[in-house]
Amino acid sequence: MADVPRRFVRAPSEDERQALVGLRDAGPAAARTRALVVLLSATRVPVPEIMRRLGLSRPTVTHWLRRFERAGVAGLADRPRSGRPARISAESLRHIAMVVGARPRDLGILGTRWSLARLRQYLVQSGTVPTLSLESLRITLKRAGLTLTAARVGQIQKGVTTMIPGAFEYHSPTSLGEATALLSKLGDDAKVLSGGQSLIPLMKLRLATPRHLVDINALPGLAYVREEGGVLRIGGLTREADLEESDVVRRRYPLLLDTCKVIADPIVRNLATVGGNLAHGDPANDHPATMLALGAEVVAVGSGGERRIPIASFFTGPFSTALRRDEIVTEIRIPGPKPGSGGAYVKMERKVGDFATAAVAVQLTLAAGTCQEAGIGLTNVGSVPIKAVRAERALRGRRVDDAAIAEAARLAAEEADPAEDLRGSVEYKRDLVRVLTGRALRKAIERAQRGG
């Protein structure tokens, strides 16, 4: 089976079988799937059935069978990457921050303080990261502003830092002009506070340590949802719960309604704002993909006046956006749906209220069964939210039949750029994007054909 896969993988030796069972039952997420692929094939389960059971593509299944044929169980490990440090997903970073903020012995590890080696061992064994050199870990911690210094460990041991943010000065301006002037004066030392549902947890983990918080909750006139002149206008301070309750959203924007229903849980949605969800720049947040599919525009006001930023150029990197340091998101504008439009958001999450393993937003306009316009956004499968432009292009001008849907779904999966983490392997997530894109397209088509 060196190059052409036989029907089934060779029979593993007893040692190999034990190692495979060990990996399947207690290995990191990705290794579990790979071991299962081999064990299934060794018990004469055909490749198409393995694909069906595990939700994997044929290339993924045959790839791991080949690797096992060539190198045994060792072939199922990730190959060490040389050169640039391993890419760590936003989710893994959050987990690392939590681990660093705890004492090793609280996590069942011997010792009261983390060394780099001990931390690496824990992260790899717990499946938080697949493999990681000490140097990559050091760089990752540095970039995230996390330290394992004696001072920090000492503070943690006294229980001072883990859940208490650093000291900050609190400002509560009552006009937009006052708020932008404050932000302009305070510069990089200040952060806007709206719902606090992302910022406060980051501050508690000391991943954000602003010296000034500019609370914009007292600014008047920034919470509304209304359609005007063929455009849906959502105020920057609109809470997710109010978006969900909005009559116009319920009637005319199914993609938005799908999205806000699956963001976190009702308690978070009562506080979290739409502006904050975008301004945070987290590729795991749900609104970015939705807004990419809808072709939204972000209105930002700063000391230099108002800017309208097309959503396609808003996300500039992980947790970073095109916003200037003194700018506040005041409104999100979404073009009203043309006749024959429909949309859908399909999210795979490990449990209700979780961030997406992957999610896909689709907005389509159809005329007589042919796609006139297509928008597709992908959540949590890249360092930024992804606009699947090749998949969109493949749909435009084409009848939306099974072949077109399959082609667009395949292209969207190719455009995804996921990182392996606790939620799954790169292969799994890519294939998940293919499946979710197909589902979202079918739902959007059905809605477009029934009139929204």
Ligand X SMILES: Cc1cc2nc3c(=O)[nH]c(=O)nc-3n(C[C@H](O)[C@H](O)[C@H](O)COP(=O)(O)OP(=O)(O)OC[C@H]3O[C@@H](n4cnc5c(N)ncnc54)[C@H](O)[C@@H]3O)c2cc1C
Using CB under 6 A, list all residues that contact ligand X.
191-199, 201, 236, 263-264, 268, 272-273, 275-277, 279-280, 282, 285-287, 323, 328-329, 353, 355
Residue 303 has which token pair? 């000391």
Cα(107)–Cα(175) distance, integer angstroms: 47
For residues 328 and 388, which CB has a smaller minimum distance to ligand X in the complex? 328
For residue 441, what are the CA distances in angstroms to 57, 345, 405? 19, 9, 7
- What is the sign of the dihedral through the CA atoms of 137, 143, 144 and 148? positive
For residues 275 and 438, which CB has a smaller minimum distance to ligand X in the complex? 275
Which residues are paired to 320 by β-bridges?
317
User: For residue 397, with 0-12 CB atoms within 10 Å meaning exposed, 13-18 middle and 19 or more buried, which class applies?
Assistant: exposed
Residues in Cβ contact with 146 at an 8 Å cutoff, skipping those fewer than 6 apart: 96, 97, 100, 206, 207
Cα(354)–Cα(336) distance, integer angstroms: 30
Cα(21)–Cα(446) distance, integer angstroms: 44
For residues 31 and 301, which CB has a smaller minimum distance to ligand X in the complex? 301
Q: Yes or no: say if 339 and 329 are a contact pair by the CB < 8 Å rule.
A: no
For residues 276 and 340, which CB has a smaller minimum distance to ligand X in the complex? 276
For residues 24 and 429, which CB has a smaller minimum distance to ligand X in the complex? 429
CB of 342 to ligand X, least distance (A): 22
CB of 384 to ligand X, least distance (A): 14
For residues 198 and 363, which CB has a smaller minimum distance to ligand X in the complex? 198
For residue 31, what are the CA distances in angstroms to 12, 34, 49, 130, 430? 16, 5, 19, 9, 16
CB of 82 to ligand X, least distance (A): 35
For residue 1, what are the CA distances in angstroms to 13, 56, 67? 17, 20, 10
Cα(167)–Cα(226) distance, integer angstroms: 39
Instruction: Give the nearest residue (CB) to ligand X.
Output: 276
For residues 239 and 410, which CB has a smaller minimum distance to ligand X in the complex? 239
CB of 204 to ligand X, least distance (A): 11
For residues 11 and 218, which CB has a smaller minimum distance to ligand X in the complex? 218
CB of 233 to ligand X, least distance (A): 14
CB of 357 to ligand X, least distance (A): 11
For residues 285 and 365, which CB has a smaller minimum distance to ligand X in the complex? 285
Cα(272)–Cα(334) distance, integer angstroms: 19
Sheet with 305-310, strands from edge to edge, namely: 225-228, 231-235, 328-335, 297-302, 305-310
Q: Yes or no: say if 343 and 363 are a contact pair by the CB < 8 Å rule.
A: yes
